[in-house]
């Protein structure tokens, strides 16, 4: 039998323990957790245990961190102890680079935060982000080296790039072999369609760009913009020399349109998979409350949905959409600049293909983040500060690094083409004048369409909602100098 004093002492001790437990659980879990979560952590009475948000993972994700880490470690161990291959410095650099790359991908797969896209699994997009981040770090390393040192590193990792001599002696021969004759004959068509990989490469590339833009008008606008970029820089980039029928029919109206159709079908298939239960974390194709409330979960409103860019709805929106198209064209241009800067003789080497793959894949969530950014800026205005998404920033940073590397290692044959222009722009006058005429005409169209000119009374001349019909003739006039530019740049015989 216990006395009253002993019972009172035991009760006081229990209350003291409960207060200490509450304080401890509050420090560990934070105030956002319900009271019963403290019992779950400290006493283990309920399952599953509720964790702090920074340690919590979606039940549908199943990260399996230990299993993935062990598998990655085994692969890296095999690379580290492999003695079956050649014992050269190049082979050692290649194995070390692959081991570091795989380790970095595993870290991103398990530990980095989700991107705006999560289908078919958020870990896939985290690995894509990691691959592009690793590529940007690789560009930084190349940027601080000399050209010979950078090229030696590239050739050690990718032996298929060839030598600088191979590139210099074979450049003209490769262009002539691709173009052949510019007369539109069955033999020339057969050569371009089946002998050269470029038709299929264009179709595959624009299927990927359709996954990026998810809009026919913007994709076709970007296609025409890149064709203009080609004829503008033809005197600098030798690979841009094309036959008229190749550029017009096989590229712009052929492979590009075919790729857009294929990309649209892929978009529709992905959307149908999500609606019929193909996505992770949904049952019977319906989205639960957790999915719709969290933008990083599958089923969020920006995950593989169509984009209504509303290009001409306002001047600000037109500039934003045009920026997206120009930036993607600039990223595509960087491929050719890097090939010429490093003298990569084989354009189908893994060095080139992996660069295209990494940038193309990161562009999918990057452009989706840009779309979300401009939509939320329009919706909230100055009331909310909207930040750029991580994929968009990474694509921007990678593109800047590629331009810096290309400028630092600018090849002599491209420099000669710029110096031959004879002006500060680096463009020949027969290219510069039509381009400026078209730009000025488009500028006048913008001024009239959006009412930028003020009348004598201080009010805008155009107050109604912008329309295209009344100013179509200006756009048609702006196309005439561009048509002349194509006529001068294309090869006709």
What's the burial of 407, exposed, middle or buried (CB within 10 Å: 0-12/13-18/19+)?
Answer: exposed
Q: How much is the average pLDDT of 122-130? A: 93
Report how far residue 37's alpha carbon sits from residue 447's, in angstroms, rounded to the nearest whole number: 61
Calculate the CA 6 to chain-centre distance: 71
Residues 232 and 165 in one domain: yes
Residues 380 and 489 in one domain: no
Residues 353 and 234 in one domain: yes
Please check whether residue 1 lies inside any domain of the structure: no
Weakest mean pLDDT among 44-48, 183-187, 188-192, 405-409: 44-48
> What's the pLDDT at 50?
47
**Statement: residue 94 has pLDDT above 70:** yes
Q: What is the DSSP string of 9-63?
A: HHHHHHHHHHHHHHHHHHHHH-TTS-THHHHHHHT--SSSPP--GGG---TTT--
Residues 232 and 265 in one domain: yes
Cis-peptide, bond into residue 120, ω within 30° of zero: yes
- List 243's β-bridge partners, or say none: 491
Helix (H, G, I), strand (E, B) or coil at 143: helix
**Statement: residue 131 has pLDDT above 90:** yes
Asked if 121 and 146 touch (Cβ cutoff 8 Å), the reply is: no
Q: Which of 278, 267, 273, 277 is nearest to 307 (CA)?
A: 267
**Statement: residue 49 has pLDDT above 80:** no
Average pLDDT of every residue of the chain: 78
Residues 405 and 476 in one domain: no
Predicted confidence band of residue 31 (pLDDT cuts 50, 70, 90): very low
User: Where does 82-144 have alpha helices with state H?
Assistant: 89-111, 122-143
**Statement: residue 181 has pLDDT above 70:** no
Please check whether residue 123 lies inside any domain of the structure: no
For the chain, what is the domain count? Answer: 3
**Statement: residue 259 has pLDDT above 90:** yes
**Statement: residue 2 has pLDDT above 80:** no
Residues 427 and 318 in one domain: no
Please check whether residue 397 lies inside any domain of the structure: yes
- Residue 137 sits at φ, ψ, to 5 deg, of -65, -35
- Residue 332 sits at φ, ψ, to 5 deg, of -70, -35
Predicted confidence band of residue 457 (pLDDT cuts 50, 70, 90): very low
Please check whether residue 230 lies inside any domain of the structure: yes
**Statement: residue 383 has pLDDT above 50:** yes
Considering only residues 185 and 353, tell me which one the structure prediction assigns the higher pLDDT.
353
Q: How much is the average pLDDT of 467-493? A: 82
Please check whether residue 68 lies inside any domain of the structure: no
- Residues 465, 467, 470, 472: what is their CA dihedral angle, to the nearest 10 degrees? 150
**Statement: residue 278 has pLDDT above 80:** no
Predicted confidence band of residue 54 (pLDDT cuts 50, 70, 90): very low
**Statement: residue 85 has pLDDT above 80:** no
> What's the pLDDT at 303?
60
Residues 198 and 272 in one domain: yes
Q: How much is the average pLDDT of 158-168? A: 81
Asked if 112 and 129 touch (Cβ cutoff 8 Å), the reply is: yes
Q: How much is the average pLDDT of 345-350? A: 83
**Statement: residue 198 has pLDDT above 50:** yes
> What's the pLDDT at 28?
39
Report how far residue 251's alpha carbon sits from residue 319's, in angstroms, rounded to the nearest whole number: 26
Q: How much is the average pLDDT of 67-84? A: 80
Q: How much is the average pLDDT of 444-466? A: 63
Predicted confidence band of residue 100 (pLDDT cuts 50, 70, 90): very high
Whole-model pTM over 0.85: no
Report how far residue 117's alpha carbon sits from residue 297's, in angstroms, rounded to the nearest whole number: 9
Please check whether residue 312 lies inside any domain of the structure: yes
Which of 385, 415, 445 delimits the end of a domain?
415
Residues 171 and 244 in one domain: yes
Dump pLDDT digits (tens) for 216-247: 889 999 999 999 999 999 989 888 888 888 88
Please check whether residue 265 lies inside any domain of the structure: yes
Residues 192 and 235 in one domain: yes
Weakest mean pLDDT among 8-12, 118-122, 233-237, 254-258: 8-12
Weakest mean pLDDT among 94-98, 310-314, 453-457: 453-457
Residues 170 and 261 in one domain: yes
Predicted confidence band of residue 252 (pLDDT cuts 50, 70, 90): confident
Structural tokens at position 37: 């979560």
- The single residue listed with the structure tokens 């009010």 is 459
Considering only residues 438 and 60, tell me which one the structure prediction assigns the higher pLDDT.
438
Considering only residues 460 and 437, tell me which one the structure prediction assigns the higher pLDDT.
437
Residue 348 domain boundaries: 129-415
Q: How much is the average pLDDT of 100-113? A: 91
Residues 341 and 455 in one domain: no
Q: How much is the average pLDDT of 338-346? A: 89
Residue 437 makes CB contacts below 8 A (sequence gap 6+) with 481
Please check whether residue 146 lies inside any domain of the structure: yes
Residues 298 and 372 in one domain: yes
Which of 381, 415, 449 delimits the end of a domain?
415
Considering only residues 381 and 308, tell me which one the structure prediction assigns the higher pLDDT.
308
Helix (H, G, I), strand (E, B) or coil at 286: strand
Max CA distance (Å), the chain: 113
> What's the pLDDT at 271?
79
Predicted confidence band of residue 45 (pLDDT cuts 50, 70, 90): very low
Q: What is the rounded end-to-end Cα distance, in angstroms, of the chain? A: 113
């Amino acid at each position: 039998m216990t006395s009253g004093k002993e019972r009172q002492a035991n009760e006081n001790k229990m209350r003291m323990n409960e207060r200490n437990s509450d304080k401890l659980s509050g420090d560990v879990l934070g105030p956002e957790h319900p009271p019963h979560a403290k019992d779950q952590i400290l006493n283990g009475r309920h399952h599953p245990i509720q964790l702090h948000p920074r340690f919590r993972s979606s039940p549908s994700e199943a990260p399996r961190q230990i299993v993935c880490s062990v598998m990655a470690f085994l692969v890296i161990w095999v690379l580290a102890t492999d003695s079956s291959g050649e014992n050269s410095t190049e082979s050692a650099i290649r194995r070390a680079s692959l081991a570091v790359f795989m380790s970095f991908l595993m870290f991103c797969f398990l530990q980095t935060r989700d991107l705006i896209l999560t289908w078919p699994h958020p870990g896939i997009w985290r690995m894509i982000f990691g691959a592009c981040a690793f590529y940007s770090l690789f560009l930084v390393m190349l940027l601080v080296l000399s050209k010979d040192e950078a090229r030696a590193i590239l050739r050690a990792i990718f032996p298929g790039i060839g030598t600088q001599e191979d590139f210099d002696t074979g450049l003209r021969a490769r262009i002539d072999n691709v173009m052949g004759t510019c007369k539109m004959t069955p033999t020339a068509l057969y050569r371009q369609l089946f002998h050269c990989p470029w038709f299929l490469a264009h179709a595959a590339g624009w299927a990927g760009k359709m996954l990026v833009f998810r809009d026919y008008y913007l994709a076709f606008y970007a296609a025409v913009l890149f064709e203009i970029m080609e004829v503008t820089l033809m005197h600098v980039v030798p690979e841009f020399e094309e036959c008229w029928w190749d550029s017009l029919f096989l590229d712009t109206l052929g492979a590009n349109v075919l790729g857009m159709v294929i990309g649209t079908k892929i978009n529709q298939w992905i959307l149908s998979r999500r609606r019929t239960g193909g996505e992770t974390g949904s049952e019977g194709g319906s989205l639960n409350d957790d999915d719709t409330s969290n933008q990083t979960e599958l089923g969020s409103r920006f995950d593989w949905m169509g984009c209504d860019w509303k290009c001409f709805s306002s001047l600000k929106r037109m500039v934003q959409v045009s920026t997206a198209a120009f930036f993607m064209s600039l990223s595509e241009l960087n491929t050719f600049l890097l090939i010429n800067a490093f003298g990569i003789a084989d354009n189908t080497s893994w060095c080139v293909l992996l660069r295209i793959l990494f940038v193309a894949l990161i562009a999918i969530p990057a452009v989706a983040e840009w779309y979300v950014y401009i939509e939320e800026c329009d919706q909230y205005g100055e009331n909310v500060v909207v930040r750029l998404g991580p994929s968009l920033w990474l694509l921007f940073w990678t593109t800047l690094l590629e331009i810096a590397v290309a400028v630092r290692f600018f090849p002599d044959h491209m420099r000669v083409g710029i110096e031959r222009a004879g002006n500060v722009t680096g463009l020949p006058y027969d290219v510069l004048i039509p381009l400026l005429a078209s730009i000025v005409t488009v500028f006048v169209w913008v001024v009239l369409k959006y009412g930028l000119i003020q009348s004598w009374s201080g009010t805008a001349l155009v107050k109604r909602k912008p329309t295209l019909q009344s100013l179509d003739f200006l756009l048609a006039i702006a196309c005439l100098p561009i048509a002349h530019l194509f006529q001068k740049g294309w090869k006709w015989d």
